[in-house]
Structure 1
Amino acid sequence: MSYHFPEGFLWGASTAAHQVEGNNVNSDFWVMENLDGSTFKEPSGDAVDHYRLFREDIALMEKLGMNAYRFSIEWARIEPEEGVFNETEIEHYRDVLKACQENKITPIVTLHHFTSPAWLIRSGGWESAETPFRFARYCSYVMRKLGDMIPYVCTINEANISIGIAKIIKRHQINASAVQVGINTDKGTRMQAYYAALSDAFNVHPQEVHSFLGPRTEKGLEIIFQAHVEARNAIRCVSPSTRIGITMSLYDIQSISGGEKQAEHALNEEFLRFQAYLKEDDFFGLQNYTRAVYGPDGMLPIPDDAEKTQMGNEYYPQALEAVIRYVAKQLDMPVLVTENGVATDQDERRIAFIQRALTGVHACIADGIPVIGYMHWSLLDNFEWQLGFSKTFGLIAVDRTTQQRYPKPSAYYYGKIAATNRLADEDSQSIVE
């Protein structure tokens, strides 16, 4: 089957600074990973050493056939103490951007990808009314220094993720408050020790440690989206040619008979109610991995016979097309797929996932929907937060004892699609095999 993607389509992959760079010592997550009794499977440590090996990784992207790279600039490196900006780290990211230029890779920069400076958490984190100002100040500084090299910027990654996290906690019936007051079990004792260490580390009560990845109050959600608005305004002042968006994680929300109202509520809760914050954006960053099916009593469990990913999600690559179509009906702006992928140790299933996802992207484009790029998650097998290095999303495997890179068959498969489309003449057709 032949597909023609638009000229200038962005073919790439994504990473997040904390997950790949290593030694992000001033961030909240570094603190939490290294506490006694930490809930993390393992600390990030050197991660996959992308901080040192970024030139090699970006050159490999170009060699594989990609023309775009979505990565994040780490706030905790740029502003390790409030109001103290590290020029050396700015120069590091300037070098990353130069490596993109040298390899004809379009950079798509995310300014906040889950991790925050530890000082921000000590100052109230993502529940503090001061955070939008502080975030906009950081964004303004970065873009004043580097904006002429950044054509696309995402302010905040998955601004709505706390809603999904709250649902997961409810679904698994995790009673964090009960643990904090003390359950007489080994787990409860361990968690009590962790919360005590957490309190000492941030000098606040554990319930006041408002990192980005956590349950959120309604006030906190407003603060996150207001931070986006203030950052967007600040960036426009210092880098007016940069196109600005936000990214949100969206399920393909479906329903069975009787579940229509539950599905409608979920769509509003996770996406529709935030549209007012997005209307001045230049593009929408869409992130999708699977679907969610609702019945009369809420979200249904994944069928026992369904194929599941390493993350426990349903393997469902066709979700991407459905979500692109839904978003396009709601927002009058280009859509950039900033993340889409699958955690699996069976790379042939990743290849099949990519093929089906891109078939859906092409169908959307053929129907006139302005999809401007596809960023696969992720470029490298990396640090998957609390789950450590056990989950493999990457197009490229990494031997962490040597930090050697090994492109998987899926990397060559995806790269061939990208390269064929990029090099095709206007009248030619490219092929998804």
Structure 2
Amino acid sequence: MALRGKEFLWGASIANYQTDGAENTQWYEWELANADRLASEYDTAFKNVPTVDDFRVAGNDPQNYISGMGIRHRERYDADFDKLQALHFNAFRFSVEWARVEPEPGVYNEQEVAFLKDYIAAIKAHGMTPVLTLWHWTMPVWFTEKGGFEKRENERYFEEFAAYVLQKLQDDIDIVLTFNEWNVYTFAGYIAGEWAPMQTSFLTAFKVALHLTEAHNRVYDIAKMIKPAFKVSVAHNTADFIALNRKVTTKLGLAWNRWQRDNFFLDRTYQKMDFLGLNWYNADSYDGFTVKNPNEKVNDMGWDMRPIRIEKTLVRLYNRYQLPILITENGLADGDDSDREWWLSETLQALENAESAGVDLMGYLHWLAFDNFEWDKGYWPRFGLIAVDYENDYARDIRPSAQYYATRILEYRGK
């Protein structure tokens, strides 16, 4: 495929927990238990971010950290898809909520399958290719009570869930992502101890990561048995790695971080992928093992912004794995929409550069389609191409940067 080809996928992504919540999940239980703490930590956590005052009211409010019923996308998806169609999208990534499909072990909710079929039919009716994510961090409470992915014997539960969903939806979808950001989940939940289950054990994190590689590989085989035409991958979180000097410790720091963030998982799974899904938000500059980013431009969450650097990442990973690349997430928290057009412009230039360097690109899915619940940050970060007014019946408003993106999509299509 090529950026200017008719088959190139242009669109955006969501995770359906973030748009609609789900009570029977480990994340919902965690947010209820931690909302007060998260609200009390906002001022300290974001004190050095220039826009900290802009979001202080929400950041200090424990209710901000409760997903509830999200932005009511589940009720309004048809009207939401009207807006995406107006932006000339031809692709849309979403996720299946495991706890809704399988509320108890081995007990499947046929009504949820019917909903998913209607939902996917609406995506297609609006001219978009559905890209399905099977696991976007949230899991049924019953699964985590069994130990979740910490135990190898529990992999079968996810594999059985995946087999059920793919069997039911095989006529509705073609593109499947097994896992979203295995490395963010393992780091935040098992090393940093910031997310559920709030552990700080490198050994447990290693086991979880290993079990996710094994489960991915088996789900790939399951998918191919159900429908050989399925295109299967993951949504893998990565970055650009930059050396600030030639010190031995810096070389070691880069090598370690590339291995633990990319190669550990991808070396074990790339042969069970039909393409490589990539989530990219930042470049990291290393002095030894320490990240020292310039932070000349930062988004509302304080993340360093150098979007042009995605080119280097695409070239590096394509040269290593020789898989077509679908960018499954790429974006920024930008409440006043002052940087998103610049971000998109820089990113699109980087995609052109990467393609000129020989990278086979399948598509670009921006994060995010709509403002929604941003995990442990709650509702205050604004990643959406489409703004959501939480105080006014969740009204949607297409941001100027989204109009710019729509114009560029038409330009690439030659219309």
TM bracket, shorter-chain basis:
0.7 to 0.9
- Could you tell me which runs of 5 or more consecutive residues in structure 2 were left unpaired when the two chains were aligned: 40-64
Whether contact under 8 Å (2:312, 2:354) holds in the other structure is no
Q: Is 1:339 aligned to 2:339, yes or no?
A: no
TM-score by length of 1: 0.84
* Alignment of structure 1 residues 218-229 onto 2, 5 Å: 218-229=206-217
Q: Deviations over 1:306-347 (max 9, x none)?
A: 221122210111121111111101112110000000111231
Please report how far the alpha carbon of residue 217 of structure 1 lies from its aligned counterpart in structure 2 after TM superposition.
Answer: 2.3
Alignment map for 1:43-192 (pairs within 5 Å): 43-162=66-185, 164-165=187-188, 169=192
Is 2:35 the partner of 1:29? no
The 1:216/1:381 distance shift into structure 2, 3 A limit, reads farther
- Secondary structure of 1:149's match? coil
Residues 25-62 of structure 1: CA deviation (Å, up to 9, x unaligned): 11111111223765454210121111111111112111
SS class of match (1:417):
helix
Asked if structure 2 preserves the Cα contact closer than 8 Å seen for 1:148 and 1:239, the reply is no
Residue 233 of structure 1 corresponds to: 221
Once superposed, which parts of structure 1, at least 4 consecutive aligned residues long, lie more than 6 Å away?
Answer: 206-210
CA RMSD after TM alignment: 2.4
| 2:286 equivalent in structure 1 | 294
* Identity between Structure 1 and Structure 2 (%): 29
- Residue 51 of structure 2 corresponds to none
C-alpha spacing 1:92/1:38, structure 2 compared with 1 (3 Å): farther
Asked if 2 retains the 8 angstrom alpha-carbon contact of 1:97 and 1:107, the reply is: yes
Q: TM-score with structure 2 length normalisation?
A: 0.87
Structure 1: segments with no counterpart, 5+ residues: 177-194, 199-205, 425-433
Q: After the TM superposition, which residues 238-387 of structure 1 pair with which residues of structure 2 at under 5 Å, given as runs?
A: 238-257=226-245, 258=247, 259-274=250-265, 275-296=267-288, 298-303=289-294, 306-387=296-377
Q: Distance in 2 between matches of 1:219 and 1:73?
A: 25
Conserved? CA contact 1:32–1:38, under 8 Å: no
Instruction: Flag the 1:388–1:414 CA change in 2: closer, same or farther, 3 A.
Output: same
Match of 1:191 in 2: none
Q: Post-superposition shift, 1:98?
A: 0.3
* Paired residues, number: 384
- Mapped pair 1:409 → 2:412: no
Shift of 1:276: 2.3
> Closer, same or farther in 2 for the Cα pair 1:40/1:26, shift >3 Å?
farther
* Secondary structure of the structure 2 residue equivalent to 1:148: coil
The letter for the 1-side match of 2:208 is G
3-state SS in 2 of match to 1:35: helix
Determine helix, strand or coil for the equivalent of 2:339: helix
CA drift at 1:245: 0.4
Structure 1 counterpart of 2:400, which letter?
A: P
Quick check: 2:275–2:325 contact (8 Å CA) kept in 1?
yes
Deviation at 1:149, TM superposition (A): 1.2
Separation of aligned partners in 1, 2:98 and 2:190: 28
Q: Any conservation in 1 of the 2:186–2:208 contact (CA below 8 Å)? A: no
Deviation for aligned residue 1:166: 7.5
Following TM superposition, by how much is the alpha carbon of 1:404 offset from its aligned partner in structure 2, in angstroms? 1.0
Deviation at 1:260, TM superposition (A): 1.9
* Distance of aligned partners of 1:266 and 1:163 in 2 relative to their CA distance in 1, 3 Å threshold: farther
Against the structure 1 CA distance between its residues 32 and 164, is the aligned structure 2 distance closer, same or farther, given a 3 Å change threshold? closer
Aligned partner (choices 367, 381, 405) of residue 391 of structure 1: 381
